[in-house]
A and B are shown apart, each in its own frame.
Chain A
Amino acid sequence: MKKFVVKRVLLSIVILFFVSMIIYGIMRCMPSSFVENKALELSQKPGAKSYQEWLDQLNSSYGLDEGIVQGYFTWAGKAVRFEFGDSWLFNQPVLEKFSSVIWYSFALSLSAFILEMLIAIPLGVIAAKKQYSGADYAITVLALIGISLPSFFFATILKWIFSVKLGWLDLYGIVGRMHDQLSPVGQVLDMAQHLILPVITLTIVSIGSMMRYVRTNMLEVLNSDYIRTARAKGLPERRVVNHHAFRNTLIPIITLLGGTLPSLFGGAMITETLFQIPGIGYTSYTCITQGDIPFVMFYMLFSAVLILVGNLIADILYAVVDPRVRVN
């Protein structure tokens, strides 16, 4: 087991090396005048560093004046030491900006994740239990609609209903107009209120695949021999489903969920942007549209690391559950 984990971790590091190389290569694809223009534009802001200072900083941190391979190692060497430079857009260190916005994203993703589990697992189990019933069809169609729903369209409908027509919730932002006058508890509630629509959007859009996954796995378990045995020895159906079948379904589900845990930090770019929740997704969206290279590079690398860690966790969990995986 230890050997397996070490091997997977080393492999992940190698993959990360190549992924970061590709990310760096994409950055180098940007028109060269773009960087100079950006530096010029930045230097003209009041109180900003001079043009040469910006240009030097960029050149040194991204190795732009060197060849592409050497430049990559210059940049990677700094990235390993967590030196990502200053964000152009926010005029502060990238990591500082990152740590100030990440918790909004985490709160949003975590609420959606919990809600998703609470809805998807019971519905998936019900659908599997009564296969080909009306409920099964309804749940399957619902799941497919969730998968097919464009998040921006669904978010717009929600905004139209709840913000425009009913006027219950605000259209944009994480805080209300009177936020500063509220008590600490009121402030938290205010933020929670602003997260309602984004959480619903995120949940509905991602619930479908989870529901189907639960249903498929539950069906597989329900058709296995030990369930037949349990039924044969005369256990009540409720006990068969809840104790024998459901517990066994949990194994693949938890494996899947373990793999998605890191992505909770990745932010939901589209949803955050639509509701202007100042999380990592919305921040990087603005950075990308504004051409803030330092932040975008950091975000790309960060996303890649999250995907890798997710895969690693999933692999390890699979290995824990199924010893056969460890061998191969």
Chain B
Amino acid sequence: MADNKNTENKKLALDDAQRVKVLSPGMMVIKRFIRNKLAIIGMVIIIFMFLFSFVGGAIIPYSESEVFYTTEEIKKDYAGATYIDDYLMFEAEGATIPSDAFSKAVLAMTKKQIVVESRKDGLLALRPIDDTTYLLYAAEETKNPKAMKSEEKAAAEEAGDCYFEYAGTPYIVDASSGKERLYNVTELSLLCKKSFTAYDEATTFSFSFYKNAMLAMAKNENSFSVDGVNYTLEHESEDAAMVHAADGTDYAYISSLNINNVIKGIFLTPEFKELVTLAIEEGQDSFEYTDAEGKTDTYLLSQKQGQYLIQRYQETRVIDTFASPSKEHWVGTDGNGMDMLARLMYGGRISLLIGFVVVFIEVIIGVIIGGVAGFFGSWVDNILMRVVDIVYCIPSMPLYMILGSIMDHYKASPKTRIFMLCIVMSILGWVGIARIVRGQILSLREQEFMVAAEATGISIKRRIFKHLVPNVIPQLIVFATMGLGDVILAEATLSFLGLGIKYPSASWGSIINAVNDSYVMTNYLFVWIPAGMLILLTVLAFNFIGDGLRDAFDPKMKR
């Protein structure tokens, strides 16, 4: 453009310097580079990657290791119910019960005895109330002909009961041995296969309540009174009854089912137990219950080996694993419930950073060793090149893996791992650069400009780093750009194998690591495809740029 303007304004001579547009070598390279479409595509990709990782990571509201939760309806155990198989003993207040009373009583039940002998404390009398309910007394044999002939005894015998009261004293008659014996008794306990549920947690019942309730149940009576308070009994079935207080509210529930809560801190009300008992007796699978707060839930009932399990669907907070891409999580979440997009961005930072750091160290070591070897030649060159050969021969992949295992053993922190990985990769990777630099310098140092430099008496250091190395820079840039791709690839491979970057730090390779689980590979494409594509695109872009740079620096190749 400038040239055109000039030609318009004033006439130029044929040999005028301004006639020919002269570009500096650097500008020529840039011009050739820009003309290369692939290289430009590569540049665009790399710029995008940098924005994605460094700017994106700063913009995204989530952090690298933020775990997300979601709520899910999960069937949870709520309560369990079993039929009571063993006798439960409800003790009378203030009674001292012999230690073997329970076993003796059970024995007596099976033998249908009324009076049995306890080991130390004399006699025990067992009074059947119905098939599974008994009252246990401490007995003392007496002789009271009056009582034996009393009306009360006759009435009791007629009712099939062995217990009667005469003149305010309780007696039990045992006729099992053929001859009637009379015993003076005091109440010890109630034995039955029933559970009592109070209307609230704190309430406990007195022995007389238990006794009278059971007596009323056995006799099919609808009411009973304890200590002057009247209760009504609503029979629901043979085994279950609801006790109402005088004002008609539920007071207690008697059932032959033992119903216990599974979750701590929940009190099962008489009403709930009533519903459970009814559901079990009617063989239902589910029932509905409205709790004290007025919330109605459906409870599921299932049976397993005589045990009933009551379950309920409950909203539970769970980690949001492998969530599909959505508005909140554009690329979904991973197996730990972390946002994939955020992890990809932070992973990109680490992958790119490792690439640049490693290549930077490689270039420094490579230029120094290659430069010295190439410049001095002879024995220095020989020794240094043998060092290069040795490093070149060290099998890198097994070595990285061994180091990974050692770091696992020492439980190295993610930061230490990244640091170590950079160091080791650069220590093993500089040989290629050293060889290139040496080869170039070997040929350059024979050229005239070096002879001139030597003639001017510049120091060796200046000659190497001021005059020789700048001439190697084109090759160096090309090699380093392509090396960046290789380093990123190697780091991704290591992390993929689980030996490089570790959770909770992310790198693109460690994100793809999830595919080691075939289920993830098959069902959650969004977990591994994006990370793989990012690696591929980044490495490809570096290769495009490297290729473009090579062509730009060395137009001779463009024949």
Residues of A within 8 A of B (CB): 11, 14-16, 18-19, 22-23, 26, 29-31, 34, 131, 137, 140-141, 144-145, 147-153, 156-157, 159-160, 164, 171, 216, 219, 223, 269-270, 273, 284-285, 288-289, 291, 296, 299-300, 303-304, 307-308, 311
Contact = CB atoms under 8 A, between A and B. Distances in A.
B350 interface: no
B321 interface: no
A31 B406 contact: yes
A152 B493 contact: yes
Contact of A148 (B386, B392, B543): B543
Given A31-B410, A152-B496, A26 B402 contact: yes
A165 B544 CA distance: 33
Interface in B472-495: 485, 489, 492-493
Interface in B514-548: 515, 518, 521-522, 525, 528, 532, 535-536, 539-540, 542-544, 547
A300 to B, nearest CB: 5
B67 interface: no
Contacts of A149: 536
Contacts of A299: 395, 398
Contact of A307 (B395, B401, B405): B395
A307 B536 contact: no
B398 A303 contact: yes
Given A31-B406, A148-B543, A150-B492, A156 B399 contact: no
Contacts of B539: 147-148, 150
A156 B390 contact: no
Ordered nearest first, which 9 A-B pairs have the shortest CB separation?
A: A303-B395, A153-B532, A148-B539, A148-B540, A288-B401, A19-B393, A144-B543, A18-B390, A152-B496
B392 A307 contact: yes
A160 B532 contact: no
A34 B398 contact: no
Interface in B490-512: 492-493, 496-497, 509, 512
Nearest to B515: A156
A213 B528 CA distance: 32
Given A31-B410, A156-B521, A171-B518, A304 B532 contact: no
5 contacts: A34-B409, A148-B539, A151-B493, A288-B402, A288-B405
B272 to A, nearest CB: 49
Given A26-B402, A270-B493, A285-B401, A156 B532 contact: yes
B157 interface: no
A184 to B, nearest CB: 31
B382 to A, nearest CB: 10
A308 B38 contact: no
B393 A150 contact: no
Given A144-B544, A164-B522, A19 B394 contact: yes
B148 to A, nearest CB: 79
A221 to B, nearest CB: 12
B10 interface: no
Contact of B394 (A23, A157, A160): A23
A296 B398 contact: yes
Nearest to A22: B394
Nearest to A171: B518
Contact of A269 (B397, B515, B525, B535): B397
Nearest to A152: B496
Contacts of B540: 144-145, 148
Contact of A300 (B398, B409, B492): B398
B559 interface: yes
B395 A153 contact: no
A172 to B, nearest CB: 9
B389 interface: yes
A15 B394 contact: no
A25 B327 CA distance: 53
Contact of A153 (B485, B536, B543, B557): B536
B402 A296 contact: yes
A291 B497 contact: no
Given A14-B386, A15-B390, A296-B402, A150 B493 contact: yes
Contacts of B528: 153, 156
Given A18-B390, A307-B392, A153 B535 contact: yes
Contact of B393 (A15, A159, A288): A15
Contacts of A16: 393
A284 B555 CA distance: 45
Contacts of A270: 397, 493, 497
Interface string B54-84: 0000000000000000000000000000000
B401 A152 contact: no
A267 B484 CA distance: 25
Given A14-B386, A19-B393, A22-B394, 19 more contacts: A15-B390, A15-B393, A19-B390, A29-B406, A30-B402, A147-B539, A150-B532, A153-B532, A156-B532, A157-B532, A164-B521, A223-B559, A270-B493, A270-B497, A273-B497, A285-B401, A285-B497, A300-B395, A304-B394
Contacts of B397: 269-270
Contact of A291 (B390, B405, B522, B544): B405
Nearest to A18: B390
Contacts of A151: 493
A147 B512 contact: no
A300 B395 CA distance: 6
Nearest to B37: A137
B401 A153 contact: no
A30 B540 CA distance: 37
A223 B558 CA distance: 11
Contacts of A311: 389, 392
Contacts of A273: 497
A304 B559 CA distance: 39
A14 B382 CA distance: 13
A30 B406 contact: yes
Contacts of B535: 150, 153
A51 to B, nearest CB: 20
Contacts of A15: 386, 389-390, 393
Given A148-B540, A153-B535, A270-B493, A304 B393 contact: yes
A288 B405 CA distance: 8
A299 to B, nearest CB: 6
A31 B410 CA distance: 8
Nearest to A159: B521
Nearest to B392: A307
A26 B540 CA distance: 34
Nearest to A306: B395
A284 B389 CA distance: 24
Contacts of B492: 150, 152
Nearest to A299: B398
Contacts of B390: 15, 18-19, 22
A160 B522 contact: yes
B508 to A, nearest CB: 9
Nearest to A301: B395
Contacts of B536: 145, 148-150, 153
A30 B402 CA distance: 9
